[in-house]
Structure 1
Amino acid sequence: MTTVFMLIFFFMFFCGVFSFVYSYKHLLNMLLSLEFMVLCLFIYLFFYLVFFNFEQYFSMFFLVFSVCEGVLGLSILVSMIRSHGNDYFLNYSFLQC
């Protein structure tokens, strides 16, 4: 039964990786796929810790860091939309300020 769960979690994680790779045009889609991958990793980590009877405090640290990563990504998205008007990567020239 644990191998079925592992296969499901790996399939979900690689679906997130593929959606991250193929959504390179929009920053919002990339952030959503990153959060999906973090959620898959959290679920896998939680079941791993429960299965081997470890403490679940590490999962709380993981959630805190993933929330900080999400907030940082959203703040970058908001600043890019305010400065350029959209979230297309093809319209940006990072050499200009």
Structure 2
Amino acid sequence: MNPQMLSASGLASLLLLSGLASNAAGAALKQKAGRIIAVGKTRDVTFKTIRGAFNDHIDDAYRAMYDTSSYLGAMISERSRAATVLVLPRDGTQ
């Protein structure tokens, strides 16, 4: 899985660049849970599907961060929006 993390409004979202068709993405979304290792920390997390205005907010953040990137179109495509999930710590902390 080749994820891209973005924090928007203090909440972390995960963009699965390979889309929903990848085995890892499918398993994670089916279970609605997983484990993320970042910055030397391991966290058990819950994934929540997001739609609508929150996706618009994430797209705006990507436009601001990656305006000159040749990958921006893929990051804000309908395929990517469908594969973007909210990442919440399972222990309830943010």
Structure with the higher helix share, 1 or 2 = 1
Structure with the higher strand share, 1 or 2 = 2
TM-score normalised by the chain length of structure 1: 0.28
TM-score normalised by the chain length of structure 2: 0.29
